[in-house]
Chain A
Amino acid sequence: MTDIQADFARPLTIARAPAKTCRQREAFTISPWLYLTPALVLLFVWTYIPLVEAFQLSFYQWNMLPTATPRYVGLKNYERLMALPEMRNALWNTLYYILGLFPMSVIIPLFVAIWTQDLTGRARMIYRGLIFVPMIVAPVVAAILWRWLLNEDQGLITLGLEQLGLGRIGFLTDPNYALATLTWITGWKLIGFSTLLFSAANAGINPSYIEAARIDGASRWGIIRDIRLPLLSPTILLLSMMTILFGAQWSFAYINVLTNGGPLKSTTNIFYLLWEYGFQTMSAGWSSAAGMIAFLGFAILAAGCMWLTKRFAVYDN
């Protein structure tokens, strides 16, 4: 994991030793390119060329019918989008999803991992086996499971809350709750997995540091604050970055299966908006323009995250 993380931080620096063998000066050979062809062709055909095409499409108006020709409209798509309250709403919701996921993907797992670090043996293995399960459950299945538990008429949780005298809550039908419900379902899949990642990183901390701090009279909290948290920072930053960059994408399946963005657009996020513009209202230009805005925004966030990782992650060398 750390390898790939390091990779994200420095995608362009490959360990290239200075020319010390004649291998470096080997004449051009075709072989490596043949080996690279399948991956590169697929990558260009299905990712990079479409990205450029989407960029072009964002300046056109097109209803996606093969018979209709796209019409050039310049920056109009962007201007319209910026003026649309829908777009602003979707961006706010995207932020809500991301921030709402943090407690479940980073904060609670971090403290649970530190709190439960003494667990050993069989009990630890059993807990580990159980809390990992949501990670491999398909999003559509997860959506259906929670739709049943939270069902407004007969869902177990609804009935339970009624027993407690809290009344019925329209978890998926009340605009005040739907967004929080979807964020919870997205986070449900992550919480156990993040805990396991933090546990593994925490267990990897060199015990002699803890020992030394204890001899110096550090308190339990002092040890957590001054030794554990800094040494866990690579994992904290990795999970934060994943949440920021992919959190809104993870919630897509739940939005589409459970609410279609409603009630009253309260659960739409930017990725759902792209899909709605593209395949429901058939306005390819708008969808592409919104896509470009999203891509640019997340690219800037990604660069920022990598910078933060480089700057603040503490590695135990």
Chain B
Amino acid sequence: MTIDASHDHQPLASLTETGGKTRRLAVHAVMILLSFLSIFPIYWMVVTSLRPENEIFSTAMWPTNPTLGNYVFVLTRIPMLQMLLNTTIVAALTAGLQVVTGLFAAYALVRWKMRLSGVIHGLIALSWLVPFQVTMIPNYVLASRLGLLDTLTGLILPNASHAFAVLLLYHAMRSFPTEILEAARIDGAKSWKILWQIVAPNMGAPIASLSIIAFISAWNEYFWPLLLSRKPENSVVQIGLQMFMTQEGNLWGPLMAAAALASLPILIIYLVLQRHVIESFMKSGIR
């Protein structure tokens, strides 16, 4: 970007100083507008959540008498902490299982040359294109037959493997030098040992990317929990949030507090791992 940009500056330099400055200002104006659009709704959620009830409709840009009352209300009214814990379990296990099943499948496709590997690869890739809403009824029937309704297992199981995970790790693994694999094989190492001692430790970056994306996607997942969940205490935070909205939709302070609590873990992850989160999402396109 920088190299490119410096070249692009040349015609600007030949313009008058003010022309360059105007353009520079316009560039910042565009980015500030876009940043404002992106952040303001979230800022407004936090501000509203901190307002006392009698000031909830205030249009002041910051909370004049900040209070945590709305948070206390949410925590006592719905099993918020339980739902946050459930969501953490579901998201962490989903991410972990996607890494493991993805590693296995990618390893099988890279390590062995099978006649059917093209077909298998295609089947895995194409499953991405099947909209979940199309398979939801058979999935729901199966889940209820297996007794998975209203359980965390039911929320995790269908997402324990994902085409995206397999493809991401497959592409990362394909660039792994085959000579090393061959050498280990000739030394008599079993494939299991090669996977865990040689391949997996070198897949740190793609595994981290995949974990970040899978965790965030699972945290934000809405549709499948909507079908499976019955009681809030057995459900994830997105469903709790929707139930709360349906019941107390016009209690804006508590509703914003609930939304803030539901987003807090993801926003903390983002604050800590910002660069990694952005790069993971960018490298892998939209999920």
A232 at the interface (CB under 8 A from B): no
Q: Mark B110-147, 1 if CB is under 8 A from A, else 0.
A: 01111001111111111101111111111111101000
B285 at the interface (CB under 8 A from A): yes
B78 at the interface (CB under 8 A from A): no
List residues of chain B with CB under 8 Å of any chain A CB: 1-5, 7-12, 24, 26-28, 30-32, 34-35, 37-39, 41-42, 44-45, 48, 56-57, 59, 100-102, 104-105, 107-109, 111-114, 117-127, 129-142, 144, 157-158, 160-161, 163-164, 166-168, 171, 174, 191, 216, 219-220, 222-223, 226-227, 238, 241-242, 245, 252, 255-256, 259, 262-263, 266-267, 270, 274, 277-278, 281-286
What's the minimum C-beta distance from B48 to chain A, rounded to whole angstroms? 7
- Report Cα–Cα, A33/B120, bound state, in Å: 11
Beta-carbon contact of A53 and B138 below 8 Å: yes
Chain A residue contacts of B101, Cβ below 8 A: 38-39, 42
Beta-carbon contact of B121 and A14 below 8 Å: yes
List residues of chain A with CB under 8 Å of any chain B CB: 1, 3-5, 7-8, 11-16, 23-24, 26, 29, 31-33, 35-40, 42-43, 45-51, 53-54, 57, 64, 66, 112, 115-120, 123-124, 126-142, 144-149, 151, 154, 156, 159, 188, 190-193, 195-197, 199-200, 202-203, 205, 207, 210-211, 214, 220, 238-239, 242, 245-246, 249, 252-253, 256-257, 271, 274-275, 278-279, 284, 287-288, 291-292, 294-295, 298-299, 302
Give the contacting residue for A252; candidates B28, B57, B107, B133; CB below 8 A: B133
- Report Cα–Cα, A211/B164, bound state, in Å: 38
Give B274's nearest chain A residue, CB to CB: A129
Q: Are A238 and B285 CB-contacts (below 8 A) given A15-B174, A43-B127, A118-B27?
A: yes
Q: Are A112 and B30 CB-contacts (below 8 A) given A32-B114, A64-B137?
A: yes
Q: Are A203 and B1 CB-contacts (below 8 A) given A127-B31, A144-B245?
A: yes
Q: Which DSSP category, helix, strand, loop or mixed, fits chain B's interface?
A: helix
Beta-carbon contact of A128 and B278 below 8 Å: yes
- Contact count A vs B, C-beta below 8 Å: 316
Give the contacting residue for A291; candidates B12, B108, B127, B133; CB below 8 A: B133
Beta-carbon contact of B113 and A1 below 8 Å: no
Beta-carbon contact of B161 and A39 below 8 Å: yes
- Report Cα–Cα, A129/B32, bound state, in Å: 12
Beta-carbon contact of A54 and B134 below 8 Å: yes
Beta-carbon contact of A32 and B241 below 8 Å: no
Beta-carbon contact of A295 and B131 below 8 Å: yes
Chain A residue contacts of B117, Cβ below 8 A: 14, 16
Chain B residue contacts of A140, Cβ below 8 A: 220, 222, 238, 241-242, 262
Beta-carbon contact of A32 and B111 below 8 Å: yes
Q: Are A31 and B191 CB-contacts (below 8 A) given A47-B130, A57-B137, A115-B30?
A: yes
Beta-carbon contact of B131 and A54 below 8 Å: no
Beta-carbon contact of B285 and A139 below 8 Å: no
- Sort A-B residue pairs by CB-CB distance and give the 9 closest, nearest first: A203-B1, A50-B138, A35-B108, A50-B135, A39-B105, A291-B134, A138-B220, A53-B138, A130-B35
- Report Cα–Cα, A138/B217, bound state, in Å: 8
What's the minimum C-beta distance from A201 to chain B, rounded to whole angstroms? 10
Chain A residue contacts of B168, Cβ below 8 A: 4
- Report Cα–Cα, A53/B123, bound state, in Å: 17
- Report Cα–Cα, A112/B33, bound state, in Å: 11
Q: Which DSSP category, helix, strand, loop or mixed, fits chain A's interface?
A: helix
Give the contacting residue for A148; candidates B158, B161, B242, B256; CB below 8 A: B256
Q: Are A39 and B1 CB-contacts (below 8 A) given A136-B277, A193-B286?
A: no
Query: Could you name 15 residue pairs across A and B whose Cβ atoms are closer than 8 Å?
Result: A4-B168, A4-B284, A32-B114, A39-B166, A43-B124, A47-B130, A51-B138, A53-B138, A118-B5, A120-B5, A144-B245, A192-B34, A197-B282, A287-B137, A291-B135
Chain B residue contacts of A275, Cβ below 8 A: 133, 136
Beta-carbon contact of A249 and B41 below 8 Å: no
Chain B residue contacts of A35, Cβ below 8 A: 104-105, 107-108, 191
Chain B residue contacts of A159, Cβ below 8 A: 59
Chain B residue contacts of A200, Cβ below 8 A: 1, 282
Chain A residue contacts of B222, Cβ below 8 A: 138-140, 253
- Report Cα–Cα, A116/B227, bound state, in Å: 43
Give B111's nearest chain A residue, CB to CB: A32
Give the contacting residue for B118; candidates A16, A33, A49; CB below 8 A: A16
Give the contacting residue for B161; candidates A32, A38, A199; CB below 8 A: A38
Give A270's nearest chain B residue, CB to CB: B133
Beta-carbon contact of B48 and A141 below 8 Å: no
- Report Cα–Cα, A119/B27, bound state, in Å: 8
Apart from A39-B102, A116-B27, what are 4 other A-B pairs with CB-CB below 8 Å?
A: A126-B35, A144-B241, A203-B1, A271-B131
- Report Cα–Cα, A145/B58, bound state, in Å: 16
